[in-house]
Amino acid sequence: MQDRKKYSIWDQYRYTFDYLRKNTGVFSLAVCAGDAVLSILLPFLEAALAGVAAACLVSSGPAGQILAMAAGYIILLQTVRFLQSHVRQLRVKLLFLFRGKMGPELDKKSLEMDGQSLESTQGQQKRRAASRNLYSGNEQGIEAFAAGFWDILIHFGGLVVYGVIVGRYSLLLLLLLTLQTMCTAWFHSLAGKREYKMEEEARENLNGLMYLKRESIAPGNGKDIRLYRMDRWFLGEFHEWIGKVTALIDKGTTAVTAAGIAGAALAFIRNAAVYGWLIMEMAKGNLTLPVFLLYVGIVAGVEIWMNGLFDALQQSYVNKKIMDDYRDFMEYGVLKEDGEETLKNPGSIHEIRLEHICFRYGGSDADTIHDLNLTIRPGERLALVGLNGAGKTTLIKLLCGIYRPTQGKIYLDGQDMDTLTRKEVFKEFSVVFQDVFAFSFPLAENVSCLGTGQEDKKRLRESLEKAGLWEKAASLPKGPDTAMNKDLDEEGVSLSGGELQKLMLARALYKDAPTVILDEPAAALDPIAESEMYEKYDAMLQAKTGIFISHRLSSTRFCDRILFMEKGRIVEEGDHEYLMKQDGAYAGMFALQARYYRKKREEERIYE
């Protein structure tokens, strides 16, 4: 991913534990610290158990004293084991809940960030990468990163304790263990970086695999897949993409396996040397049996601590990268700070003025909108027409504040839109975009955009009646409270394309914003039906500003003014009669479309 911010490991730890403390309090930090202490103490007590038992057996003291000493040690060991187990469970629970509390933060960012950044390819990539921090289970992301810090502390602390014990007896033995540890760490570090690189490449290919899976089972694609025997093509693509992913994963696991083999070979050499030396020392009488057993347990423990430390460091390296992606997304997409001024005339019809507006999508080397100047009068019926790709939808997103201009200013009644809060700007516009769909919530919530029971019942019914959808809504199993689709409710109902268009109109009417924009919601209809629908919409928009967008010129003849757009510029402007008299681009395209539709209707009559 390009332009990804990176943070130091210490900065990520500071961020994580600041957030942990703010959301769960110091109790969670105390629990983690307690778990670290107990997790270091418990293995030492277990390693020393054999030595303590041997000491009891060779002791010449009274039997009762020996039994009391052995029983006391066992009780201490079991108590520490019990405490460590329960404190570890509590740590896992607290860190899991901590990760869960971060979910709304990511969702809030996605919902409130500027539309341009979120819709961009880079924004979508960053959003997917950030989601791994919270939604990839407890083995990846911030939960694993926080746990990994304590695991590193535990294993490093264990190595220090064991190292001090070994060093007090033999510095040479400590040096041997340290060298072997450093060599093994180097092998694992190389393997870890290789594995992470392969996983990143595999994940990029996995997006292609997920696309194939999604499209192959999409209900709307079933007809084409079966009629055109595309199943063979899909299976071939599945095989190819799965091969790419598994090959990359295999490279990563091969590196880890090689590092493991190298580490095991070094461990074998170390154990042979260390155990051989300990046996010789005991044979010479320099070590008693209890001390020998203690050091055997300590040396074995060093290997366990060492392997645990390598794993914890490797996981922290991987999860630190995931944390980088998360914070990178959380700081992405704020092009300009939200304004603080309030709108002088909220809810009234506005004069909207655009001065020298330019807009360029991120990553593009050319403007989509070029030095555009436009004034929309209060209550005007305005049409934006032109071929697909002329910049009509982009201009609408600029008008209603979803996008911010690259250059230039937009004014509402003379107030610079950049000085207003986005929430205030959004309240002034109702937009029905091209892709009409219903969220899988109750129909009433789709119209009001409010939670169940929060809508105005009278206003809801009036909006549905004006849109021509009330009879359908009333006939549903639960009336307007019936869920749309079956994603969240098995009893949900799916609306037809025409009903969805009425639903979107009802939503716009319920919001009752002073400016209503229709961005080709009827593009799937034939020209006559689209024209009739637009005129019906126009009749409903009393005392409002209406902006109608279409690439079919006949659909917007009723408008006060028509703007013909080409390549991000307004090339012609006027009402229908005026533009036809000018005999320019608008008139030429109108005549061409008229001939096409006349020919099409004649062909349909022939086949009837």
According to the model, what pLDDT value does residue 58 have? 64
**pLDDT at residue number 335:** 47
**Does residue 571 surpass a pLDDT of 90?**
yes
Confidence of residue 54 (pLDDT cuts 50, 70, 90): low
Residue 334 tokens read as 């704020």
Round the average pLDDT of the chain to a whole number and report it: 82
SS3 545: strand
Q: Say yes or no to pLDDT of 603 above 60.
A: no
Could you give the count of Cα atoms lying within 13 Å of 196 in the half-sphere of its Cβ? Answer: 16
Q: What is the pLDDT of residue 496?
A: 85
Cβ-in-10-Å burial (0-12, 13-18, 19+) of 4 comes to: middle
Instruction: Tell whether the torsion through CA atoms of 23, 313, 3 and 12 is positive or negative.
Output: positive
The candidate with the shortest Cα–Cα distance to 464, out of 486, 453, 448, 477, is 448
Least confident of 131-135, 256-260, 467-471: 256-260
Provide mean pLDDT across the span 83-112: 89
Each residue's pLDDT tens digit, 302-318: 777 877 887 888 788 88
User: Comparing 160-169, 186-195, 229-238, which segment has the lowest mean pLDDT?
Assistant: 186-195
pLDDT (tens digit per residue) in 167-188: 777 777 777 777 777 777 777 7
CA angle, residues 284, 290, 294, in degrees to nearest 5? 100
- Separation CA 115–CA 402 (nearest Å): 5
Contacts with 375 (C-beta within 8 Å, 6 or more apart), sequence order = 351, 352, 353, 354
Residue 412 has pLDDT above 90, yes or no: yes
The pLDDT value given to residue 34 = 93
Instruction: Report the pLDDT averaged over residues 287-299.
Output: 72
Q: What's the pLDDT band for 68 if we cut at 50, 70, 90?
A: confident
Structure tokens at 254: 């091969």
Q: Tell me the C-alpha distance between 263 and 27, whole Å.
A: 39
Q: What length does the chain have?
A: 608
Apex 145 CA angle, 86 and 16, nearest 5: 95
Within a 10 A sphere around the Cβ of 66, how many other Cβ atoms?
A: 16
Q: Judge residue 314's burial from the number of C-beta atoms within 10 Å of its C-beta, 0-12 exposed, 13-18 middle, 19 or more buried.
A: buried
- pLDDT, one tens digit per residue, over 502-527 is 898 899 889 989 999 988 776 556 66
d(CA 524, CA 418): 35
Instruction: Identify each DSSP E strand in 494-585 by its residue range.
Output: 515-519, 545-550, 561-566, 569-574
The pLDDT > 90 percentage for the chain reads 25
pTM beyond 0.75, yes or no = no
